[in-house]
């Protein structure tokens, strides 16, 4: 996007996306120390919607690649009520700090004598951080747009850095990451990619199970008002083509190079489906080339921001008011009391 053009800056969504770069650059790594010092060997990463999808799954992806010492898993807060968690550190992330499911989980655990709950929220004094044993209040400030952006990245960064430090990993260069985020948010999205998606009634997202494509599936609903689905890994080549239609489209995030030919055969040739990609390299498909941050463990943040930018262009191409969906709410299920 052009960060000086009214076409973009009139929307809180665009302004908040652009603020993400400074949120990353200015992150205080000392804020993780108390949580790191009190981390148990078993960890649940919980939350609802955007507060869980990318923050939790991005951390899980890195944990599995690096072989972290902790046993980390993720679940929505309501289903987590059914789990045995007395020996776990429980992270509850909520932008508003008053998501009903999260408050309910914390209160159940506290009633059982639990003493290792971490609340991650954007608003001080809200139940989730006030009732947790340890807390982190995001520095990104309030979001006016319904679609969460800068808060998602800060939630993910906090969780990510906690486990990096707990496992002796080197802390990343946050200035370099912030610069890459700013670059990808201000670059021009190729017209051929926007036009391939603008008229599609359904946008599919495919990619690794690291939270990026799955989170962008949700953002598709909120930003473009289109139906969407997330096709994990190579699922797109394993039967769903039977119900796909040629007027739909698929975006593949960082395609597995060895599977590109199969996607092309099944989806482009077999269905007639337009395929576009987001990647640091030129793929077999029309590709939104994004900056290489020089560290594979940070590329997910840049991919996510590239997807935001792409979806914003699709929304604008369809004259969508990016800040005001008809039914979606900032707080999906608000605790009252």
**The predicted structure's pLDDT at residue 337:** 63
What digits encode the pLDDT tens for the residues 17-67?
999 999 999 999 999 999 999 999 999 999 999 999 999 999 999 999 999
Both 25 and 158 in a single domain? yes
What is the chain's mean pLDDT, rounded? 94
The answer as to whether 179 is a domain residue is no
Residue 110: give its domain's CATH number: 3.40.50.10490
For residue 207, what are the contacts with CB-CB under 8 A and spacing of at least 6?
A: 213, 232, 233, 252, 253, 254, 255, 303
- pLDDT bin (cut points 50, 70, 90) of residue 196 is very high
Range 97-114 burial, b when 16+ CB lie within 10 A, else e? bbbbbbbbbbeebeeeeb
Both 21 and 114 in a single domain? yes
SS (H, E, C) 289-314: ECCCCCCHHHHHHHHHHHHHHHHHHH
The answer as to whether 111 is a domain residue is yes
Q: Answer yes or no: is pLDDT of 333 > 70.
A: no
Over pLDDT 70: what percentage of the chain? 96
The answer as to whether 26 is a domain residue is yes
Asked whether the beta carbons of 291 and 184 are under 8 A apart, the reply is: yes
Final residue of a structural domain among 125, 148, 172:
172
The answer as to whether 47 is a domain residue is yes
The answer as to whether 180 is a domain residue is no
Give the C-alpha separation, 42 to 44, whole Å: 7
Task: Give the H or E element holding residue 65.
Answer: helix 53-66
Q: Is 68 helix (H, G, I), strand (E, B) or coil?
A: coil
**The predicted structure's pLDDT at residue 335:** 54
The answer as to whether 300 is a domain residue is no
What digits encode the pLDDT tens for the residues 134-145?
999 999 999 999
**The predicted structure's pLDDT at residue 297:** 85
- Strands of the chain (E only): list them: 42-47, 71-75, 88-94, 117-121, 134-137, 202-207, 227-232, 249-253, 275-279, 287-289
**The predicted structure's pLDDT at residue 327:** 59
Both 83 and 11 in a single domain? yes
Give the C-alpha separation, 141 to 40, whole Å: 30
For residue 79, what are the contacts with CB-CB under 8 A and spacing of at least 6?
A: none
Both 237 and 120 in a single domain? no
Phi, psi of 79 (to 5 degrees): -65, -30
Over pLDDT 90: what percentage of the chain? 90
Distances (CA, A) of 51 to 96, 140, 157: 10, 14, 12
- The DSSP 8-state label assigned to residue 43 in this structure reads E
Q: Average pLDDT for residues 150-171, to the nearest whole number?
A: 97
CB atoms within 10 A of CB 209: 15
- Measured CA angle at 42 (ends 171, 111), to 5 deg: 120
Q: Is 196 helix (H, G, I), strand (E, B) or coil?
A: helix
**The predicted structure's pLDDT at residue 324:** 84
Give the C-alpha separation, 322 to 225, whole Å: 9
Both 96 and 41 in a single domain? yes
Total number of residues shown for the chain: 337
Domain count within the chain: 2
Q: Answer yes or no: is pLDDT of 161 > 90.
A: yes
Final residue of a structural domain among 172, 206, 234:
172
Compare 323 and 312 and report the one with higher pLDDT: 312
Both 145 and 16 in a single domain? yes
Both 162 and 205 in a single domain? no
Both 127 and 194 in a single domain? no
The answer as to whether 153 is a domain residue is yes
Both 110 and 201 in a single domain? no
Both 163 and 17 in a single domain? yes
- pLDDT bin (cut points 50, 70, 90) of residue 295 is confident
Final residue of a structural domain among 172, 205, 239:
172
- The DSSP 8-state label assigned to residue 240 in this structure reads G
Both 105 and 238 in a single domain? no
Asked whether the beta carbons of 306 and 207 are under 8 A apart, the reply is: no
The answer as to whether 305 is a domain residue is no
Domain that holds residue 25: 6-172
Q: Average pLDDT for residues 206-229, to the nearest whole number?
A: 96
Both 141 and 193 in a single domain? no
What digits encode the pLDDT tens for the residues 77-122?
999 999 999 999 999 999 999 999 999 999 999 999 999 999 999 9
Q: Answer yes or no: is pLDDT of 332 > 80.
A: no
Give the C-alpha separation, 265 to 274, whole Å: 12
């Amino acid at each position: 996007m052009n960060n000086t053009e009214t076409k973009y800056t009139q929307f809180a969504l665009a302004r908040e996306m652009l603020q993400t770069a400074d949120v990353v650059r200015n992150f205080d790594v000392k804020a993780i120390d108390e949580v790191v010092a009190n981390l148990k060997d078993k960890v649940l990463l919980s939350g609802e919607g955007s507060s869980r999808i990318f923050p939790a799954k991005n951390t899980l992806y890195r944990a599995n690649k690096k072989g972290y010492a902790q046993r980390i898993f993720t679940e929505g807060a309501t289903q987590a009520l059914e789990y045995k968690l007395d020996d776990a550190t429980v992270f509850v992330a909520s932008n508003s700090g008053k998501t009903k499911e999260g408050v309910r989980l914390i209160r159940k655990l506290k009633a059982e004598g639990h003493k290792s709950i971490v609340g991650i929220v954007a608003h001080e004094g809200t139940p989730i951080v006030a009732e947790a044993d340890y807390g982190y209040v995001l520095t990104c400030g309030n979001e006016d747009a319904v679609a969460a952006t800068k808060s998602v990245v800060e939630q993910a960064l906090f969780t990510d850095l906690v486990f990096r430090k707990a496992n002796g990993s080197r802390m990343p260069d946050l200035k370099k990451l912030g610069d890459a985020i700013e670059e990808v948010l201000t670059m021009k999205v190729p017209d051929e990619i926007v036009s391939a998606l603008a008229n599609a009634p359904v946008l599919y997202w495919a990619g690794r199970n690291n939270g990026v494509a799955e989170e962008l599936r949700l953002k598709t609903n909120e930003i473009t008002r289109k139906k969407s689905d997330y096709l994990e890994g190579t699922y797109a080549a394993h039967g769903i083509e039977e119900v796909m239609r040629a007027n739909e489209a698929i975006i593949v995030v960082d395609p597995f190079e060895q599977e590109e030919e199969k996607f092309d055969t099944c989806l482009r040739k077999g269905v007639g489906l337009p395929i576009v990609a987001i990647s640091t390299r030129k793929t077999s498909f029309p590709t939104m080339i994004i900056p290489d941050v020089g560290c594979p463990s940070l590329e997910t943040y840049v991919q996510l921001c590239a997807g935001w930018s792409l979806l914003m262009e699709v929304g604008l191409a369809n004259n969508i008011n990016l800040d005001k969906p008809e039914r979606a709410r900032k707080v999906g299920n608000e605790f009252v009391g």
